[in-house]
Every structure is written in structure tokens, then in C-alpha cells.
Amino acid sequence: MTVDAASAFKYEKLDAVTPLDRVIFGSADPFALAQRDEETIRLAVVRDAVDFHAARDPSYRRWLTSAAVGVDELQSVKDLDRVPQLPTAIFKRRNSPLVHSAEARPSRSSGTLGTVSAVWRDHTTTQRLLGSVKAGLRLIDSWYEDEVHVVNLGPDRQEAAGLWFAYVMSLLEIVFPTTHCVKADVFDKTATLQKLSNALGAAPSVGVVGPPMLVADLAATALRTRWSCDADRITVVTAGGWKRAVGEALARDEFDDLVCRAFGVSDPYRDVRDAFNQVELNTVLFECRARRKHVPPWVHVTVRDPVALLPVAPESYGLLSYLDASASSYPCFIVGDDIGMLRDGACPCGRIGRTVEILRRVRRDESWGCALKMDSDVVR
């Protein structure tokens, strides 16, 4: 099904009156700010978010109080490391203590531990999530908004409603002309290659978006059937990781090689990118040309020791945790599910800023130690 971006569901910017919405939806590139400006904005919008959630959610307010952190104490971005963060176990509880408004709807995803997270998102929160996707696409040089047709290797929004990553990818139809390729759980590779040919006939460039396993499957089918297209008209954006197909995961250079040969991509650093998200996080992080995932100013990242949860030394590996100011329907202040590293400063892509490297998912024994302790100690 092809959905015209202008029809069906209008992409609706929020009133750009708050500093946060100016950063997310404004015309300035949020990844091109001077370091000092970025830190000033980050401190302001995260402080506002802490204040907002403390006022609306008694459970989070108790947590702030017990951690002896008040908004007045948050005077620099470094102070933000002290803001209490929720273990994702909170979202996996049948009866979460978090407040959610009547209009919010749950986004669900089964996590690494096999349990299901339910994260309540309202309209504003979802619009900002989509805003983070639009902002992140600025990192892809070949993605010109008015010239791209998206081929989504997933279902449309209606069918994707219960599947977090498929849902995030289906949101692209709000912004770009989009063709969805999964119907009733079936991914027909031959039909998808035909849709890809049609999209190439309809637009100067095509964005192929999907989990790496499906992209690799499609690329292998393209090679086998001698499907071909003009060089350098396709940009591939993967998201969601290999999940259950982890045993079949290709190394990055093997994946690049396959995709380049199948889809006529000459420079994988320009046209093969990955994006990161977990259901509890309201921002999608995209890779730049140097394959580093840039963090926008509305997200503060702290890398913590998995046991003590204290911040680790700069450029050390630890548990990635986030203060994401973009969620209004729940406090998106979370200890994440991944081990990784934060870098700050000049990126080889030419931008100055923070980037994260995702190393791997947390193992069961690592996460339960800290998450359950925090859960039972503080949140009632």
C-alpha cells in the first residue's frame, strides 16, 4: 500500500513554543550546535522535564525526594547524572506505579529477558518520537526529504500496532511516501523487489528501512534473481538489531558487501546506516557517516557501572542510561538494556557532539542485580 504523506494522517508539529519543541521541530540542525549551546539547551530541557514529571507523577516525585535531588541542584549537565532513573523492570510490571493519562496508549515490546514492556505514550510523546526520527535523518547525507520514497520492510501502522520496532518504522509513512512490505505477517521477497523497482520509478532516491535480517534476506534474493537498479539510488537504514536471528547475524563488513552488491550502493558509509532505540526510550539514535550514533540535545546519556550504578570514567564501557526530555506521558529517565560507551567531542564525520557506541545487550545476571534492587527499594 502506498500512503501519500499529505493524506491519511497529517504530520502535525506541536506548537513550537517550548524550548524543547523548538529544538526537536525547529529548522536548526540539532546535531550542529556549538558545544556550549548544546549543553545549555540540554540542561534546560532536561531540568524542565524533571520538574514536569515530579509535578505530575507522585511515584517519580517520591523517588526524587528519596534521592535528595531537586531541580535547583541541577546547575550543570554533569549534575544531570544524579537524576534518579527508572529500571526498565518498572515497565514490565503488570501494575506499573507510573501515572499515565487516559489518552495514552501502550507501546509494547518483549525485551531481552523475555518479558513484555508496556510504555504509555500520548499524542505529544509520539509526535516527538517521530520528530527525533526526522531530526536523526539529517545525519544521512543522501536522504533529501522531498526526494525519498521509503520502502519499509515491515507492516503498515495498523498491522504494526503491537510490535514496537515495526511501529516506529511504520511512522515514516507520516512524513514520506511509503510502501509497506509485510502483510499478515508475510514478507514476500519477490513482491518486495517489485515494490522496490516501482519506488525507484516514482522517486529520485529510495530509502529501504528494516531490521538487518530482512534487509539481508532481500539483498540475497536480489542477487540470486539478478534484480538490478541504477547505482547509488538506494539508502539502507537498519533498525532493531538481529534479535532472534542473532545466530545468523552477519559481521558489519559482510552485511555492507552484500547490500552494496545487491542494491548498487558504492559507498556503504554514506548509504548503509543503523539506528538504535529500545521501547522505553522516546528517541531514535541514528548513525552518522562515521557510523557513530549521535545523541540529540534533548537526551542526556550517563554510562554507569552495572553494579554500583555510579558514572564510569569518560570513554569507558558501562550500562547506558538516559534522561530523555521528549516524553510527556511518562518519565523517560531510564537505565537502559545495553552496555556501551559515550564519546564527547569531535566526530570523524565533522560534527562536534556526543555519540554512543552500543556494544551488546545486558545479560540476565547483570541487569537483575541493579534493576530489581532499585525497583524494590524505592518505587512503591
Which residue lies nearer to Zn ion by CB, 34 or 307? 34
Task: Report in angstroms how near the CB of residue 294 gets to Zn ion at its nearest.
Answer: 6
Which run of H or E residues covers position 343?
strand 333-346
Task: Report in angstroms how near the CB of residue 284 gets to Zn ion at its nearest.
Answer: 16
Which residue lies nearer to Zn ion by CB, 239 or 279? 239
Task: Report in angstroms how near the CB of residue 288 gets to Zn ion at its nearest.
Answer: 3
Task: Report in angstroms how near the CB of residue 271 gets to Zn ion at its nearest.
Answer: 16
Which residue lies nearer to Zn ion by CB, 149 or 273? 273
Residues sharing a CB contact under 8 Å with residue 272, sequence separation 6 or more, in sequence order: 235, 236, 238, 255, 256, 259, 260, 265
**Grid coordinates in use for 342?**
559515550
Task: Report in angstroms how near the CB of residue 351 gets to Zn ion at its nearest.
Answer: 5
Which residue lies nearer to Zn ion by CB, 245 or 290? 290
Greatest C-alpha distance within the chain: 64
Backbone angles phi, psi at 116, to 5 degrees: -100, 130
Which residue lies nearer to Zn ion by CB, 116 or 290? 290
Task: Report in angstroms how near the CB of residue 125 gets to Zn ion at its nearest.
Answer: 27
Among 171, 347, 358, 370, binds Zn ion (CB under 5 A): 347
Task: Report in angstroms how near the CB of residue 210 gets to Zn ion at its nearest.
Answer: 23
Report how many residues bind Zn ion under the rule CB under 5 A: 6
Contact segment (CB under 5 A) with Zn ion among 33-41, 163-171, 240-248, 351-359 equals: 351-359
Backbone angles phi, psi at 44, to 5 degrees: -65, -50
What type of residue is 32?
A: A
Task: Report in angstroms how near the CB of residue 281 gets to Zn ion at its nearest.
Answer: 20
Measured from the Cβ of residue 190, the count of other Cβ atoms closer than 10 Å reads: 11
Q: Which of 202, 139, 149 is nearest to 176 (CA)?
A: 149
Which residue lies nearer to Zn ion by CB, 288 or 334? 288
Helix axes 189-202, 212-224, angle to 10 degrees: 90
Contact segment (CB under 5 A) with Zn ion among 8-16, 50-58, 110-118, 343-351 equals: 343-351
Nearest-angstrom CA–CA distance, 285 and 296: 8
Site string for Zn ion, 262-301 (x = CB under 5 A): --------------------------x-x-x---------
Among 349, 356, 370, 371, binds Zn ion (CB under 5 A): 349
Chain positions 322 to 341 lying near Zn ion, rule: CB under 5 A, are: none
Cβ–Cβ < 8 Å for 48, 60 = no
Which residue lies nearer to Zn ion by CB, 148 or 347? 347
Cβ–Cβ < 8 Å for 301, 319 = no
Task: Report in angstroms how near the CB of residue 293 gets to Zn ion at its nearest.
Answer: 9
Q: Is 250 in the site for Zn ion (CB under 5 A)?
A: no
Chain positions 146 to 185 lying near Zn ion, rule: CB under 5 A, are: none
Nearest-angstrom CA–CA distance, 168 and 235: 18
Cβ–Cβ < 8 Å for 27, 13 = no
Task: Report in angstroms how near the CB of residue 282 gets to Zn ion at its nearest.
Answer: 22
* Helices and strands counted in the chain (H then E): 12, 17
Which residue lies nearer to Zn ion by CB, 47 or 351? 351
What type of residue is 126?
A: T
C-alpha torsion 240→233→349→168, nearest 10 = -30
Nearest-angstrom CA–CA distance, 297 and 306: 25
C-alpha torsion 368→313→36→280, nearest 10 = -10
Which residue lies nearer to Zn ion by CB, 161 or 290? 290
Which residue lies nearer to Zn ion by CB, 104 or 299? 299
Which residues are near Zn ion by CB under 5 A? 288, 290, 292, 347, 349, 351
